[in-house]
Structure 1
Amino acid sequence: MKSLLLLSSLLLIACGNDHPTAKIVEVNKRMVLEEWPDSNYIASLDSILKLEPVKKGKDTADVSLKMNAFKAPTFKLPPSVTGKSTSRKSGLSKPPKQVKQAAEASKPSNNAENFVAKFSNALSALQSDPSNKGLYKVVTANDGEDLFKLLRRTYGAGTQNLPRFYVLSALQSVNPGVMLEHLNAGDKVRVPRL
């Protein structure tokens, strides 16, 4: 009996008044999972997720997103972030009529957008089947000509609206062994047939 009392008193002394301390959760830091969540917790998560409204229907299958890569949205930060004042310099501001005309002049025409769409579709078809001779034509580079001068000569002025990095990397994949960034006179380049 004495040994039992001694053992219980040692246990009380060993446990003492230590309270378990909670670990501080830090953002973007991995933590060790010490125990699996119990079934009640998972069941409560499932019940919450079942109540979330999810729209399913015909509309979700036909979704097609289009982005004009040449007119990316611009965001202006407030002066409190940039540290610059908001006052305009009167000599540099344009009257509203001139601003409207400049915006209309810089807007790509529908033909330019159609050309970019046609070229992109033809280029992706060529990438998926580069050995199909019906999908490409071979153009010979002239002396002092780079890839985009070659494309301008082949397709016309619509090539100025093409995204440079995408076109360069996509055409490089179908033209192995040709350095498209530094063309030499006489280099044969496969370009998509429109």
Structure 2
Amino acid sequence: MERVNTTEIFEDHRPEFERLAHTQEFVNFADNSKISQLDELPIYSRDSEVAFLDKYDTPTRNRVLIYATFTLLKEALTHQRHAAWPDGYLHMVSIPGWWEREPFGAGLMENDGSQWLLQPRLWIGNFNSTVVADNFRMHQGLSIAADFTRSALPIESKEHVFESYSRQYGDESERIERVYITLPGSPESIIVMDS
């Protein structure tokens, strides 16, 4: 199948995405004054809100959702006249949903971006809070999930993809918890450089 241009699809559906951003209050959310530690806001809450993308396959829809969230974050910050890192607050995109438990505890299902719809989010962390500053770290994006995320972004943003891991529910190994997309100007101190 021929790869579709996520930028073109986003622009074709910009009015729908702008309605979503307005409904989800992206511009107000980008104003960080009320964030005490961490907060996230998904680009959509119900699948029906992104039904305008149903004509595309799942990988394409996910790439467009990632690109749209990234673009709308940049635009919301521009509207608020904020940088990516104003006064200790980090603004970025977070993307959870890379794995989930199978029904009845039969194992794990992993998502490489083609299995089910992802729900990208605006993410704000208040690094003036010692809880956040002392505990939040990202790693270089080396996973299949990070590669998939890079495939949705413009060339100049591909080096801004990171990830975090978790070990939950008695897992023996760590799983990708979230993939993050930072904006230029984000601090490097929260990135763990893997050797």
Q: Please tell me the TM-score bracket, short chain as reference.
A: under 0.3
The TM-score, its normalising length taken from structure 1, stands at 0.23
Higher strand share: 2
Higher helix share: 1
The structure with the largest alpha-carbon Rg is 1
Which of the pair has the greater relative contact order for Cα pairs under 8 Å at 6+ separation? 2
The TM-score, its normalising length taken from structure 2, stands at 0.23
